[in-house]
Structure 1
Amino acid sequence: MKKKQKLLSLFLGIVLVVSVLSGGCDYLSQPINSDNTDSTSTPIDADWTFPTPQQNLPELANYAMVVAMVKPAVVAVDVEYITQDIFGRQTVAVASGSGFIIDPSGYIITNNHVVEGGSTVTVTLSDGRTFTASQVVTDSRTDLAVIKVDTLGEDLPFVYIGDSSALEVGEPVAAIGNALGLGITMKGGWISRLDAQITVDQSVTLYGLIGTDVAINEGNSGGPLVNMAGEVIGITSAKIAEVGVEGVGYAININSARTFIEELVKKGYITRPFMGVAGILTVDSSIQSYFRLGIDRGVLIRGVSEGGPAEKAGLMANDVILAINGQPVLTDEELILAIHGKKIGDKIEVSYFRDGVTATVTLTLAETPPPES
């Protein structure tokens, strides 16, 4: 039987986004699209800052020491959902995931897909203490969420943050989380790939992921991926499995996530560089024929946002973008990556084709409009 690769459940889903960190490209989904309805949260604290990464923590001798260090700050996340049966009767369903405490005052990181749509979110520490979320901020494009709990004056254990840019293929790591909803457990392995990308569905491709051979199961989502110093270097998110092949796990790298998490807490949504074009399509022979284009390469834009950067620069629906800052873009993914790593306010040179003529305009990237309340 022919082997068929498939993306497993992603433990309720996963999506990511563009990063503007100094290290360059990280990950993104559709930052150039005008739709920004993915972030719908209310801010928690405008003055909160993400914890500073640790410097030169010593490596521990074995996994047992890593678990002893990290496990107290890893939580089981239980989410209640109100569902309706075919007769219209409401019932309560419960799903489980993982998270980890990054601030002793009660800030917990997890995945958006772990808490999305939940009516009640409860976290349980490994010592048995349980807290109900007072607020949850989420962003589906990054698949990130922050749970805030009222600690009632208790100082909670917390993880140390590492530097994911220093990772190397072959480095040992551990995933700690609420695997299969059975409580906090650990699986060890190695980093097998850096800057990985996977396609979740037709509209979302994930970039900048950490690939690992650590065995990841449903319920691990939102838990920490840690190095041998016990530092969090990733957020466990998804698993790809192929028939007859051992599963490959993926995690969001913490360097990318930190900027987004801080914005979520401060603003309730994530700002993104905004080009103001929508409905992008890679031009191939079928697209060329269907839209009767006079060119067989580039990226077709099907629309522009009213008053957005593209419209202001003179771009129009059905223009074909050929290059950004002189670098050819041949696919929709390449166009996304060309914006990837740019900052709000950056000026870019966009070469395009229209009605048999090639021209270039200067476009200033804006901030993606906040979601409507």
Structure 2
Amino acid sequence: VTSDFFGRQYHVSGSGIIIDSEGHIVTNNHVVEDARSIYLELVDGRSFSADIVGTDPLSDLAVIKIDATDLPYANWGDSSTLSLGEWVLAIGNALGEGIIVSQGIVSRLNASVDVGGNTLYGLIQTTAAINPGNSGGPLVNMSGEVIGITSVKIVASEVEGMGFAISSNEAKPVIEDIICHGHVTYPWLGVGVLTVNSLIAAARDLSVDKGALIETVVAGSPAEAAGLRKGDVITRFNDQEISNIADLVQAIRTSGIGEEVEIVFVRGEDTRTTSARLIERPDS
């Protein structure tokens, strides 16, 4: 139950996944955001009120908890084993009508989508039907393992079958952070970047046609301390090749706070190497 600017209450429906026997349930941040109260019904018909353990708008994930024990819970799968064309099932409270299952295939891996000014990375695109109310529900493989959390559907007259799920491997560390600390901490480099492609390379007179072009360097950031400048193109981060923004975001997120990382970048015609010690993202 949420309220608008005028104090009028309205109901938002969504889905969730029981992830342990102690009552922790993962869902989407946008499902519980601004909620004044949360009520849920299990498949066995029992109803509960739930408390928010923590949320993370950057990943669109949230964990809530109900006062129950000995609950059956979902088997967590390894999304890195997914292949294009693999069959999957989307399960959720579609349109608030109760549990509905739809089937489809994995149509793209490691996708990114802009949602409300925030970009979600490492997504699974699927042709399985995702409708209002599905948000926060599981995307499962044919072994019944959760390999994604349904989150976004692109709605347009010329678009069909473009639903997205947060991969289980992206979600797992976020969920663990929320349960342990109530919030998520992210490592931070302190740059604003643009994906380099052949068009950008030609327009900016760059010597490389892929990488992450630095547009801004935050004052006092690890990037500034490492000597990175606007116009540099990051092409490698530790042992990971960087071809675009998503690669750099993934490389940073999978690093540790306080970790010293090696960065290979191109400045003009020269390829250079520097190191930076990542710190906690200021708004984590």
Relative to the length of structure 1, the TM-score reads 0.64
User: Which one of 222, 227, 252 corresponds to residue 309 of structure 1?
Assistant: 222
- SS at 2:146's partner residue? strand
**CA distance in structure 2 between the partners assigned to 1:169 and 1:193 by the alignment:** 6
**CA distance in structure 2 between the partners assigned to 1:134 and 1:229 by the alignment:** 31
Tell me how many residue pairs correspond in the alignment.
Answer: 275
**CA distance in structure 1 between the partners assigned to 2:246 and 2:42 by the alignment:** 41
Equivalent in the alignment of 2:90? 175
Is 1:215 matched with 2:129?
Answer: yes
Equivalent in the alignment of 2:274? 361
The amino acid of 1:172's aligned partner reads W
For structure 2, list consecutive stretches of 5 or more residues without a partner in the other structure.
none
Query: 1:350, CA displacement in angstroms?
Result: 4.8
Q: Is the 8 A contact 1:299 1:329 kept in 2?
A: no
Q: Is the 8 A contact 1:198 1:206 kept in 2?
A: yes
User: Which one of 29, 36, 53 corresponds to residue 112 of structure 1?
Assistant: 29
RMSD: 3.2
Query: 1:309, CA displacement in angstroms?
Result: 1.3
Equivalent in the alignment of 1:95? 12
**CA distance in structure 1 between the partners assigned to 2:137 and 2:147 by the alignment:** 11
Q: Equivalent residues in 2 for 1:291-306 (5 A)?
A: 299-306=213-220
The amino acid of 2:119's aligned partner reads T
Percent of residue pairs bearing the same amino acid type: 45
How far does the alpha carbon of each residue in 1:36-83 deviate from its partner, in whole angstroms, 9 at most, with x for none? xxxxxxxxxxxxxxxxxxxxxxxxxxxxxxxxxxxxxxxxxxxx1122
Equivalent in the alignment of 2:2? 81
**CA distance in structure 2 between the partners assigned to 1:189 and 1:280 by the alignment:** 34
Q: Is the 8 A contact 1:322 1:330 kept in 2?
A: no
Equivalent in the alignment of 2:164? 250
Query: 1:305, CA displacement in angstroms?
Result: 4.0
**CA distance in structure 2 between the partners assigned to 1:169 and 1:359 by the alignment:** 36
Q: Equivalent residues in 2 for 1:277-296 (5 A)?
A: 277=191, 279-281=192-194
For structure 1, list consecutive stretches of 5 or more residues without a partner in the other structure.
1-79, 289-293
**CA distance in structure 1 between the partners assigned to 2:74 and 2:170 by the alignment:** 17
**CA distance in structure 1 between the partners assigned to 2:106 and 2:55 by the alignment:** 28
User: Which one of 52, 55, 64 corresponds to residue 138 of structure 1?
Assistant: 55
How far does the alpha carbon of each residue in 1:336-364 deviate from its partner, in whole angstroms, 9 at most, with x for none? 4564644440322354659x998653222
The amino acid of 2:72's aligned partner reads P
Q: 1:363 to 1:187 in 2, by over 3 A?
A: same
The amino acid of 2:187's aligned partner reads P
**CA distance in structure 1 between the partners assigned to 2:249 and 2:113 by the alignment:** 15
Q: Is the 8 A contact 2:54 2:62 kept in 1?
A: yes
Larger Rg: 1
**CA distance in structure 2 between the partners assigned to 1:156 and 1:258 by the alignment:** 19
Is 1:321 matched with 2:232?
Answer: yes
Q: Is the 8 A contact 2:3 2:36 kept in 1?
A: yes
- SS at 2:45's partner residue? coil
How far does the alpha carbon of each residue in 1:129-151 deviate from its partner, in whole angstroms, 9 at most, with x for none? 11111333100011111001112
Relative to the length of structure 2, the TM-score reads 0.82
Equivalent in the alignment of 2:71? 156
